[in-house]
Each structure stands twice: as structure tokens, then as C-alpha cells.
A and B are shown apart, each in its own frame.
Chain A
Amino acid sequence: MTNLADRPLGSAVRVTSVAWDKLESGEARRLHALGVDVGAVLKLAHRGIFAGRDPLAVEVGRMTVALRREHALAIMVEDAGDEAVHPAGIPPQGDAQ
């Protein structure tokens, strides 16, 4: 289990916990509204410019969301294998068809 910020680009990860208290409350609510929550499957798509590590672009479902490294550090994730990227709220096993 690692934080989202240090994952390699392109791998699908599942959110295991979010340190909401480390985030400013407006930002926490916005992230939540964008579908970032425990159980969500995300994919780190882009990292900042000129070898910078900030900001990050993360795929959440069919959306791409930009966030800062400080936010990603508060999001703990685990490997999600080949699972489709989708936001939180559905039991992972329910996705198998």
C-alpha cells in the first residue's frame, strides 16, 4: 500500500483510505464530489511539467481530474490489476461481467 503520488504512470490503483483530515475541507469535499473515495479505482495519467512532480492528472471513471501532489499524498492506494477505472461506490467484484 502506497500513496497515489508515487505510483507509476498508467497503472490502475484502488483507493484504500483517504486522510480527509489532512486536506482543507473545501478541497476534501471537491475531491469527494469528483468521485475520489475509498474503493474508487483511479489511474495516474500525467505528471507536471519539466520533470516536476506537481500537479498530477488522475483518471476517475470517464473523467480526468487535476490535483496537487499534496492531495495525492493523502490518498493511499493498492494495486488494482487490470480492473477498469471507475469511481467509488461499487463493490469491486460486481464489476466482473
Chain B
Amino acid sequence: MTRGPLTIALVGNPNAGKSALFNAMTGARQKIANYPGVTVERKAGRLILASGEPAELLDLPGSYSLDPTSPDEAVTRDVVMGRQEGQKRPDALIVVLDANNLEQHLVFAQEVIALGLPTVVALNMVDLAARDGLVIDARALEQALGVPVVETVAVRRRGHIDLTTVLGKTIDKHPSEPPLPVHVDMVERRVSARAMAKAAILSETRTRRLHRGLDKVLLHPWAGPVILFAMLFVVFQAVFAWATPFADGLEAIVGALSDAVKANMPAGLLRDALTEGVLAGVGSVVVFLPQIVVLFFFILVMEATGYMARAAFLMDRMMASVGLSGRSFIPLLSSFACAIPGIMATRSIADAKDRLTTILIAPLMTCSARLPVYAVIIAAFIPARTVGLGVGLQGLVLFALYVAGILGAMLVALVLRRSVTKGQASGFIMELPRYQWPLLKDVAIGLWQRAWIFLRRAGTIIFTVTVVLWLLLSFPQARPGESQIDASFAGKLANGLAVVVEPIGFNRDMALALIPAMAAREVAVSSLATTYAVAAEDEEAAAEALGPKLARDWTLPMALSFLAWFVFAPQCLSTIAVAKRETNGWKWPAFMLAYLFALAYIAAGATFWIATAAGL
């Protein structure tokens, strides 16, 4: 008998250890996409059953019941019921239970089992349960639920082999017409969940000392926030300190490649296209990979340990004051690395207005793509001296730019929640998961996925734009005695834009940098570098660092205005594209573009005129 490749879905309560189990069962061979028409992530991987048969394993969003309260939960319900567009109904289900929280997780488990699909229960995290003094009789649970129960520990292979073996048998033995489910409501399921848990737990200790002790400190009304901010401070320090050697290394590799091309190719347009266009452009973006990896490392560890939910708890009061909830904290924190994963992380926000507001302000968080712009300008214009107490002026300016972004976001949220995204005050109901030691494998897989998304973006959009820009800058070719920039298409485009941005202090080179920087902010740096490299007469001048050239060509108010522009300007096509996907239309991304450009124009103009008036 032959059948198509089987689809098996993992379902369970949030924090049941579903994703760790999924990672353990599928390894790094995962495909992440979206379910068509909705903005919920579809995670799938390949699994080989004990019979040698390949199957597709789906990791469904964590749910508390089949009566959804968020778009994520709605997808879980629709997939298991076979109602999700473009997704075949799973042939079998694996219900993941946290062994430490049976009476809660058994409620949803019963609801899922009642669907009548071939089902196996994975009694997960039995190792942690044992550590907490819980002894569970899996056979008693099996009898009560009427489906096979397999004990699993995400890091141990043994349980997964048992799971796939039992799964294969269950699918084969499953009657083609399962008995009709009996209608049972949630209260009844809760009563039986409690009874089942009681019967299955052979012994338990009452307290979870570690968990409670940690919460006592980390959620302490005074110490908690101090610890959170200290931790965030360390994270941001590490983002710069740890990433620098790797970024320097990547830069050196790109430089060496560029030198190798120059040494081995005859001088000409093609060589220039490779060195000045491709390598200079993509190189200036790829150097950010280390920072993104370091930041995501911390975010993933905070998520895996369960601390992220505590951070949301601590930040809820503050977020509530601008009409948001603690849930927005995680997406906004991610946006400090990149607004794209940040906006995608808003999916966990149940309230639609809340989510929309968070999406709209996410681009105001200082993402790492702004750093190269800030770094180049600050290094060129702000003197490297201290302002007392060992605080450097350059660092202070950088800090001020971050704060400007955060304050801007808070103000915008406040205004939006009273106008375009007006609605009921958003609530905050969230499970605070048990603390856990993070698994290296899960963090590694998460990091790999993030790094890959970023590289793909750098490799496609940014690559294309850099090359197009180089073409615009190089053609038509200048006649003898004419500057290449003035002759080029880009120069003519910039002439038009320069008129618009002249009142806020921008010169034509700056206007020119804004055009390709629509692809991504960091391209402004490579574009400035390309502009100045192209304008340079000889190789030595081109090899000179960009900073001194800017310091020679721009005034301080111009530089400050350029910085202020980048705090607000939505110079990132990928963010706009993600916002379009996440809000299902052009209305909100168009609004986002308009309000952010308006803010950027006002902020840059104000900065320029105030700085000029102050005689800087």
C-alpha cells in the first residue's frame, strides 16, 4: 500500500517545550514560511519514521484551546481541523505535554485527542520534572487518555526514536472511521485533567524552590527593573565589543577580495563594477552580521530561559502608559537589531490595535543598520574627548540618538493610540514560563535562521540596489573635464531631490546617498563611499577613509541634521515590505512611510537650524 508523504503536526500549550522537541527531531533541516493569507509562521521539517518512511513535521503555534484568542491559535485550530487554506490536514498529531504542568496541559490535550486523528502524546521535560521531585506514571496517563504516551527529553534521542516508532504504529492501526467525538466542555475537561494528573503523579514535592526564588529576585519591584536594565546594558556593550573583531575580520576579507580582483583583472568598467559596486556595497552590509548574531544570541537566550516573559512583566506598566502592553516589549527589543524580525514578532500580540501600533513604531528603534551611518558621521564630526567622569562625547551622542528613537516611538504610540489606532486599552495576560537552562542546539538553530534571513536580504535586495546605484553613478560616462557625478543619472536624480532637502541642510552628496539608502540605511555609507571613490582622481584618494572626506566637505550642522534624519526616516524597503505582509495591505505601510518621512524632515530641519543658530 502506498500513500503520499505523511504530515505530522506538533501541538500543545505554549511553553510545553514543543519547539525544542521539534528542533531535536528535525535538526537544522527546517523550512520557515508563512501560511498563505495570514501572518503566522509555518515551521516544517523532515522526519524519518521508524519504518524508514519520510514525513513532514509541522510545528504548530502553541495554544491553550481550540477556541482561539490570537491569530496564532486560529492557525493551530484550522490546521488540525483541516480548514487551513493551502495546508493538508495532518495525518497524525503529537500532543506535547509539559510533565511539570499536567493538570493545565491535559485540558488542551483532551480537546485535541477528541478530534479523532491518530495521536501520540509526548510527555515532555520528564528530566525537569524528576529534578523537581515529580514522579509520573506514563502508563496511567496512557490509560486515562486512550492514546500512547511516550516520555521525551528534548536533548535525548532515545525518546524521539520511541516517539517515531509509536507514531508509525498508531497511524497504521488507526481505524479509518474513528468513533464520533463526545461533546465535552472545557470545565468538564478541566475536571478530568485534574483527576488524570492526580492519578498519574505518583509523588511530588510541593514547592519549586528554584523557580520561586528566581522570581522573587527578578520580579522584585525595585531590584527587578534594575537587573533588567543592567542586563540590557551588558547586552548592548557586548553587541559592540564582541562583534568588532569579527566585523573587522569580515572587512579585511572583503578588502583582500577587492585587492585580489584589482591585481588579477585588467583595469576597466567590469573591474570597477566588481570592486566599487559589488564588493564595496555588499561588504559594507555583511560586516553587520556579527552584531546581529550577538544581539540575537542574547534575545534567544532570554527567550529560552523564560526571562523574556519576566522582562515583559516588568515593562508592562511603562508600556501601558503609552497605550501598549508588556508584550510589545519583546518585538521592540528585537527591533534594536532589525525591525524585520521585530515586526514579525508582533504576531504574539493578541490585540489587533496593539499589534498595529507596535508595527508602526518598530522602525523607530535604532536598528543595527543605522549604526554604520551613525558610526561614520560621529567618528568624522564629533571629537573623541571625554565630557567628564570617563564618559566619551562620541558615545554620548550615540546614546542620545538611541534615546531620541525610543522617545520618538513612545510619543508616536501615545498619539496613535488616541487617534488612528484608538481602541480599548490593551490587556496583558501572559503565562510566565518556568525558568530553564537554554539548550545550545536551539539557540544555534535560531541564530542560524536569523543570520540566514539577514544574509539573504543582504545578498539580494542590497546587492541589486548597490549594483543599480553603481550603474546610475557610472553612466553616462563623463566627458573629459566633467565630473563623473554631475554627468551620471544618479547625479541628475539627486539634483531634483537636493532641492527638496536643501532647506534641512543637505547637500547634493547627501541627497544622492538617500536614494540607494531606501534599500537599507547602511547603504548610505557604501553609497557615500562609492560617490567619493568615484569622484576621486586616483587610487590613493579612493583608498583614503571616508570620514576625513566628509569632515572636509560637510559642516557640523549638516552632519547633525543627517544623523537626525536617520533616527526617523523609514529608509528600508524590506521593513516596508514586511509591514505590508503583516498588515495585509498597503494602507498601513503607506501611512508608516508618510509619518516617518515627515518626522525625519522636521527633526533634521530643526536640528540643522538650531545647530546653525547655536553657531556650531
Residues of A near any B CB (own CB < 8 A): 24, 26-27, 29-35, 37, 45-52, 54-55, 57, 60-68, 70-71, 84, 86-90
Contact = CB atoms under 8 A, between A and B. Distances in A.
Interface of B: 64-65, 67, 69-70, 100-101, 103-104, 107, 186-187, 190-191, 193-195, 206, 208, 212, 215, 219, 221-222, 224-225, 309, 312-314, 316-317, 320, 326, 350-351, 424-425, 427-432
B434 to A, nearest CB: 8
Contact of A64 (B190, B194, B195, B215): B215
Contacts of A65: 429-432
Given A29-B65, A66-B431, 10 more contacts: A27-B69, A33-B67, A54-B317, A61-B101, A61-B104, A62-B100, A66-B313, A71-B429, A87-B194, A90-B194
Contacts of B206: 84
A71 to B, nearest CB: 7
B312 A66 contact: yes
Contacts of B430: 65-67
A68 B427 CA distance: 7
Contact of B432 (A29, A57, A87, A90): A57
Contact of B194 (A33, A46, A86): A86
Contacts of B432: 57, 63-66
A30 B191 contact: no
A48 B221 contact: yes
Contacts, number: 130
Nearest to B65: A33
Contacts of B195: 90
Contacts of A35: 103-104, 107, 190
26 contacts: A26-B70, A29-B69, A32-B186, A33-B69, A34-B64, A34-B431, A37-B190, A45-B219, A46-B215, A48-B317, A49-B221, A49-B314, A50-B225, A52-B221, A55-B316, A55-B428, A62-B104, A63-B104, A64-B432, A66-B313, A66-B316, A66-B429, A66-B431, A68-B316, A70-B425, A89-B194
Query: Which 9 residue pairs of A and B lie closest in terms of their CB atoms, listed nearest first?
Result: A89-B190, A33-B64, A64-B432, A89-B191, A46-B219, A26-B69, A27-B427, A62-B101, A66-B430
Chain B interface secondary structure, helix, strand, loop or mixed? helix
A54 B309 CA distance: 15
Contacts of A52: 221, 317
Contacts of A37: 187, 190
A27 B312 CA distance: 17
A68 B428 contact: yes
A33 B320 CA distance: 24
A27 B212 CA distance: 26
A46 B70 CA distance: 26
B112 to A, nearest CB: 14
Contacts of B225: 49-50
B429 A30 contact: yes
B103 A62 contact: yes
B108 to A, nearest CB: 8
A70 B326 CA distance: 15
Contacts of A87: 103-104, 190, 194
B427 A61 contact: no
